[in-house]
Amino acid sequence: MYNNNRESRESNQVVFGIRAVIEAIRSGKEIESLYIQRGIGGGLLTELKELLNEYQITAQQVPVEKLNRITQKNHQGVIAFISPITYQKIEDIIPQIFEKGEVPLILVLDSITDVRNMGAIARTAECSGVHAIVVPAKGSAQINPDAIKTSAGALYNIPVCRHDNFMQTIKFLQESGLQLVCCTEKTKEYIYKPDYTAPTAIIMGSEEDGVRSEIIRIADHLAKIPMYGEIASLNVSVATGVILYEAIRQRL
């Protein structure tokens, strides 16, 4: 069953009930998150799980209390949230950029979890001409109404690519001829040193942990933003704007 009242139209669309979720997946809906009650079973649930494997959709096993907080209606132990955007594949986008004769500028967000940061970053990325945003399938902020609103609608206008094997996706970018520029404090070099006129993927880390170490190890450049105040770091959305506009300055 779909939740179609006015309030739900202003939020991620909620689908509840096993059959309704199955049909939503089969119809091509983008599943933002999916919750299944712990301990339930049955033939229809088996069919749903087979579909999840086929479409490579991850579900979270949760207590029934969590589902009941989302809706008091008969959810049958299954609730899904439909994404307001359609995710794309970076493998499809990179060739298109080169075919147009453009120089790729990709923004990779390593586990940005705050939806408002996600929205603010997307707004800056769209304004600065970034070709696509790449995020991991797990551990990344949901693209929900708060993110859409904070982005001023930019998330409707810039491709967002969500990938299960995040490291493999980053290696694909590198193998496609893009230099990996990690924005991290773990370096002596500043963001002004890399040549952003070359095909580039700029990688920003999570609010708490920064860019993961396995990405730092394979990066072509590590770059930090000069800091002179007492506070040790910038908000990630501000930091993203700083490095993106250094790339744009060079490209101009």
The pLDDT of 29-49, averaged and rounded, is 90
User: Rounded distance, CA 50 to CA 56, Å?
Assistant: 10
Domain boundary among 53, 82, 111: 82
pLDDT exceeds 90 at position 239:
yes
- Asked if residue 32 and residue 152 are part of one domain, the reply reads no
- Asked if residue 76 and residue 102 are part of one domain, the reply reads no
Q: How confident is the model at residue 238 (pLDDT cuts 50, 70, 90)?
A: very high
- Asked if residue 52 and residue 164 are part of one domain, the reply reads no
**Would residue 217 count as lying in a domain?**
yes
User: Rounded distance, CA 47 to CA 86, Å?
Assistant: 24
Note the pLDDT of residue 12.
56
Note the pLDDT of residue 30.
87
**Would residue 1 count as lying in a domain?**
no
Count of structural domains, the chain: 2
Residue bearing tokens 């794309």? 88
Count CA atoms within 13 Å of residue 23 on its CB side: 8
DSSP state, residue 39: T
Q: What is the DSSP string of 139-205?
A: SS----HHHHHHTTTGGGTS-EEEESSHHHHHHHHHHTTPEEEEE-SSSS-BTTSS-TTSSEEEEE-
**Which residues have C-beta within 8 Å of that of residue 133, sequence separation ≥ 6?**
106, 107, 108, 109, 121, 122, 125, 158, 159, 160, 161
Domain boundary among 82, 114, 143: 82
Look up the CATH number of the domain holding residue 23. Answer: 3.30.1330.30
The pLDDT of 103-122, averaged and rounded, is 96
User: Rounded distance, CA 49 to CA 29, Å?
Assistant: 16
pLDDT, tens only, 148-206: 999 999 999 999 999 989 999 999 999 999 999 999 999 999 999 999 999 999 999 98
Q: What is the rounded end-to-end Cα distance, in angstroms, of the chain?
A: 51
**Which residues have C-beta within 8 Å of that of residue 239, sequence separation ≥ 6?**
183, 204, 225, 233
**What's the domain range around 97?**
90-251
Residue 214: how many CB atoms within 10 A of its CB?
A: 10
Note the pLDDT of residue 136.
94
Q: What pTM was computed for the model?
A: 0.84
Which H or E run includes 108? strand 105-109
User: Rounded distance, CA 14 to CA 27, Å?
Assistant: 15
- Asked if residue 94 and residue 76 are part of one domain, the reply reads no
Calculate what percentage of the chain has a pLDDT beyond 70: 95
Residue 87 φ/ψ region, left for φ over 0, alpha for ψ in the -120 to 50 degree band, beta for the rest: beta
Note the pLDDT of residue 119.
96
